[in-house]
C-alpha cells in the first residue's frame, strides 16, 4: 500500500472516530424537550480541482498540496468534513466544539479542533466568549469553510489568502445594537494563536492579537468592517536572516528590514453585500501591512449572481497586489569569491520568499445547483493571470516553474450540511 | 393619467388576489402587546437578528417545520428568500456557534397552542387558520 492510500484510510478512520464521538455526545439529551441540552450539526465539502499549471500546486488555505503538480485532479483543494456539538447548559451559558478533518499542514488528515468556546449571554444583546473563536478579518471569515453558505466553490483566494489564519485563542465580546432599521454588531477581541505552516515553514506565532469589527445589517444589505493588530513571529525565517547578519552592516540592515520577530502586523478589511433574494452582489477589500519580508499586500473582489430556481450562475473578478517582489540583497560583486557563493544563496532565499507575495487577477465563472435543501453542487472555472515576478497563490513551485503567467483551474464540489 | 389609473387598478387586483389565496400572516398571542411590526422587524426576529420586539419585550419566534408550504411562503413573502437560502442563513449562524434556528412545529394548530401559553411568542399561519386565540400582526 503506498503512503497516499494509507493517508486516505487514516483520514476515513479518524474522521469516523471523531464523528462517532460527537454523535454519542449528541445522543445525550436533556429531559426537557423544549430546550435540548446538546445539538449536533455537521458540514462538509467533497471537491475535485484541476489546474493547467503542472509545475506548481493550486491550493487553498494552509494546505500543503493541491492540483497541478501533486495531482492532476486533486481532492485536497476543497474537501473537508466537520462536526459540531452545541451544549446549552442554561439559557445564558452555552458551549460549542467544532472538530474538522481536512488536509493538515503536514499532509495528515488528523481531525483538529477548529473552535471550542464557552459563551455567556449576559443579555439577549451582549455576549462574551472564551476559548478558540474565529478571527473575523473578512466578511465571510466565520463561514469560509462552510461551502453551503456561499455561492462559489471557495471564497476568492486573492483576498482570503491574505490571512489564511482563521482562529484566535482568547476572548471576544459582542454587542448588538438597533438603530432604526439597522442592526449593528460590534465585536472586540483579544487573544493569540499558533498556526503550523505547510512546506516546512514552521509555526506562525501571533501574540497580543487585538481586533475590532462591526457587522451592520439592514434588510438585504450587510456591511462588514474589521481591524486586527498582532505581533507575529515566523521563527523559520531566522536562519536566513542570521546568515545575512554575518555580512556586516549591509547584511544586518537587510535582516532588520525583513525579519519577522514580534513584528507588528495590521489588517484592515471592508466589505458589503446586497442580497434581495433573486440576485446578489458583493464586494470586499482588505490590506495586510507589516515592516518585514511579508510587506504590504492587499486584494479586492466583486461578485454577482442571479438565482433562477435552483440554479445560481455567478461571476467574480478579483485582484491581489503586493509591494516589492524582489530585493537586490547583498552586493555580491564587492565580496571575495569564497563569500560570494553563500551571499548569492542568501539573496536567492530572500527573493524566493518575496516572490511568494501573490500578485494576480482572476476571473471566475461558475454555477451553484441546490439539488437538495441541505446540499448543493457547484462547477467553477477560474482564469488566473499571475503578475510578473510572483508565484501568485500557487505553492510547491518546481525548479522549472516560471514566475508570472496564466493558468486555468476547473473545480467541482458538493457541499452539504446535516 | 389613464395609464396611472390602470397601474393602480392592476396593483390593487394583484393585492386582492394575493389576499384571497390562503395567505400566510404573522401572529402573536392574544395576550401580546404587539399590534404592528414592519416586514424587516418580523424577518429580523425569525432570522435571529433581533431578540426583542420594538416595545422591549423578549421575542420568541416559532417556525413551521422544513418543507411546510406555509414556511416556504412566509420566507418568500417576508424575506424574499427561498427554503435553500434560509437553510444557508442558519448554517452560517449554527457553524459559528452563534445560535440555533427557532423551534419548529409541524402545523398551525401547534403554533396556536404554543402562542396560547407564551405571550412573548410570534409565529405565522395561514389566514384561514386564524381564530380568537391569536392576533394577526399588522404589517406596516
Q: Can you give the pLDDT at residue A393?
A: 94
CA dihedral (B93, B58, B83, B11) positive or negative? negative
A373 contact residues in B (CB cutoff 8 A): 66-67, 83-84, 87
Chosen for mutation from B95, B105, B110 (greatest number of chain A CBs closer than 10 Å) is B95
Which chain B residue shows the shortest CA-CA distance from A184? B49
Element of type H or E holding B134: strand B134-136
CA atoms within 13 A on the CB side of A365: 2
Phi/psi at A30 (5° precision): -70, 155
C-alpha distances in Å from residue A178, one per residue of A129, A275, B3, B49, B120:
21, 20, 41, 10, 19
- pLDDT tens readout for residues A251-275: 999 999 999 999 999 999 999 999 9
Q: Can you give the pLDDT at residue B12?
A: 45
pLDDT (mean) for B26-44: 92
For A3-417, CATH number?
A: 2.40.160.10
A143 contact residues in B (CB cutoff 8 A): 91-92, 95-96
Cell of A123: 443579555
Domain ranges in chain A are 3-417
B44 contact residues in A (CB cutoff 8 A): 183
Q: Is the pLDDT of residue B63 over 50?
A: yes
Coil vs helix vs strand at A416: strand
Question: Which residue do the cell numbers 442592526 mark?
Answer: A183
Using pLDDT thresholds of 50, 70 and 90, give the confidence band for residue B22: low
Which chain B residue shows the shortest CA-CA distance from A96? B97
pTM for the structure as a whole: 0.85
The reply to whether residue B91 touches residue A181, judged by beta carbons under 8 angstroms, is no
Distance CA A246, CA A243 (A): 5
- pLDDT tens readout for residues A392-401: 999 999 999 9
Min Cα separation B66/chain A (Å): 9
CA dihedral (A240, A246, A249, A250) positive or negative? negative
Give A173's DSSP letter.
Answer: E
Distance CA B80, CA B72 (A): 10
A29 contact residues in B (CB cutoff 8 A): none
Q: Can you give the pLDDT at residue A23?
A: 44
Distance CA B134, CA A229 (A): 52
- Give pLDDT < 70 ranges for chain A: 1-36
The reply to whether residue B97 touches residue A125, judged by beta carbons under 8 angstroms, is no
What structural domains and CATH numbers belong to chain B? Answer: 22-139 (3.40.190.10)
Q: Can you give the pLDDT at residue A36?
A: 58
Using pLDDT thresholds of 50, 70 and 90, give the confidence band for residue B1: very low
Using pLDDT thresholds of 50, 70 and 90, give the confidence band for residue B13: very low
CA dihedral (A55, A200, A169, A89) positive or negative? positive
Distance CA A166, CA A60 (A): 13
Which chain A residue shows the shortest CA-CA distance from B105? A34
B98 contact residues in A (CB cutoff 8 A): 142
Predicted complex ipTM exceeds 0.85: no
Question: Which residues touch A39 (CB under 8 Å, ≥6 apart)?
Answer: A26, A85, A86, A88, B100
Amino acid at each position: 500500500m503506498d503512503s497516499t492510500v494509507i493517508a486516505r484510510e487514516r483520514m476515513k478512520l479518524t474522521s469516523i472516530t471523531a464523528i462517532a464521538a460527537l454523535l454519542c455526545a449528541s445522543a445525550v439529551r436533556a429531559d426537557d424537550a423544549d430546550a435540548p441540552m446538546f445539538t449536533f450539526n455537521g458540514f462538509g465539502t467533497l471537491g475535485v480541482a484541476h489546474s493547467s499549471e503542472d509545475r506548481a500546486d493550486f491550493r487553498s488555505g494552509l494546505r500543503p498540496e493541491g492540483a497541478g503538480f501533486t495531482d492532476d485532479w486533486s481532492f485536497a483543494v476543497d474537501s473537508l468534513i466537520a462536526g459540531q456539538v452545541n451544549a446549552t447548559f442554561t439559557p445564558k451559558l452555552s458551549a460549542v466544539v467544532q472538530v474538522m478533518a481536512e488536509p493538515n499542514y503536514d499532509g495528515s488528515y488528523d481531525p483538529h479542533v477548529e473552535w471550542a468556546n464557552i459563551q455567556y449571554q449576559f443579555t439577549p444583546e451582549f455576549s462574551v466568549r472564551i476559548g478558540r473563536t474565529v478571527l473575523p478579518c473578512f466578511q465571510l471569515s466565520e463561514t469560509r469553510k462552510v461551502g453551503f453558505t456561499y455561492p462559489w466553490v471557495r471564497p476568492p483566494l486573492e483576498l482570503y489568502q491574505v490571512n489564511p489564519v482563521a482562529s484566535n485563542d482568547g476572548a471576544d465580546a459582542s454587542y448588538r445594537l438597533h438603530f432604526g432599521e439597522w442592526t449593528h454588531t460590534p465585536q472586540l477581541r483579544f487573544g493569540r494563536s499558533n498556526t503550523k505552516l505547510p512546506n516546512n515553514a514552521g509555526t506562525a506565532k501571533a501574540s497580543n492579537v487585538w481586533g475590532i469589527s462591526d457587522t451592520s445589517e439592514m434588510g438585504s444589505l450587510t456591511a462588514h468592517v474589521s481591524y486586527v493588530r498582532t505581533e507575529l513571529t515566523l521563527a523559520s525565517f531566522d536562519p536566513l536572516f542570521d546568515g545575512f547578519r554575518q555580512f556586516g552592516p549591509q547584511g544586518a540592515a537587510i535582516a532588520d528590514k525583513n525579519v519577522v520577530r514580534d513584528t507588528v502586523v495590521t489588517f484592515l478589511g471592508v466589505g458589503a453585500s446586497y442580497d434581495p433574494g433573486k440576485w446578489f452582489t458583493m464586494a470586499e477589500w482588505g490590506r495586510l501591512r507589516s515592516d518585514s519580508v511579508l510587506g504590504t499586500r492587499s486584494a479586492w473582489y466583486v461578485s454577482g449572481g442571479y438565482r433562477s430556481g435552483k440554479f445560481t450562475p455567478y461571476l467574480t473578478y478579483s485582484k491581489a497586489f503586493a509591494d516589492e517582489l524582489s530585493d537586490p540583497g547583498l552586493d555580491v560583486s564587492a565580496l571575495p569569491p569564497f563569500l560570494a557563493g553563500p551571499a548569492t544563496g542568501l539573496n536567492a532565499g530572500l527573493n524566493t520568499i518575496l516572490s511568494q507575495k501573490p500578485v494576480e487577477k482572476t476571473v471566475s465563472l461558475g454555477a451553484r445547483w441546490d439539488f437538495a435543501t441541505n446540499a448543493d453542487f457547484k462547477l467553477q472555472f477560474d482564469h488566473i493571470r499571475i503578475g510578473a515576478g510572483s508565484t501568485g497563490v500557487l505553492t510547491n513551485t518546481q525548479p522549472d516553474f516560471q514566475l508570472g503567467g496564466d493558468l486555468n483551474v476547473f473545480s467541482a464540489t458538493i457541499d452539504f450540511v446535516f | 393619467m389613464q395609464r396611472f389609473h390602470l397601474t393602480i387598478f392592476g396593483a390593487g387586483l394583484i393585492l386582492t388576489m394575493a389576499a384571497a389565496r390562503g395567505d400566510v400572516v404573522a401572529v402573536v398571542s392574544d395576550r401580546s402587546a404587539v399590534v404592528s411590526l414592519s416586514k424587516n422587524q418580523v424577518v429580523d426576529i425569525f432570522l435571529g437578528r433581533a431578540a426583542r420586539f420594538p416595545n422591549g419585550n423578549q421575542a420568541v419566534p416559532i417556525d413551521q417545520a422544513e418543507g411546510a408550504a406555509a414556511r416556504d411562503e412566509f420566507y418568500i413573502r417576508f424575506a424574499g428568500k427561498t427554503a435553500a437560502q434560509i437553510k444557508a442563513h442558519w448554517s452560517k449562524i449554527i457553524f459559528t456557534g452563534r445560535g440555533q434556528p427557532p423551534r419548529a412545529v409541524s402545523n398551525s394548530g401547534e403554533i396556536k397552542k404554543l402562542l396560547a401559553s407564551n405571550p412573548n411568542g410570534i409565529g405565522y399561519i395561514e389566514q384561514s387558520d386564524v381564530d380568537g386565540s391569536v392576533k394577526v400582526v399588522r404589517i406596516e
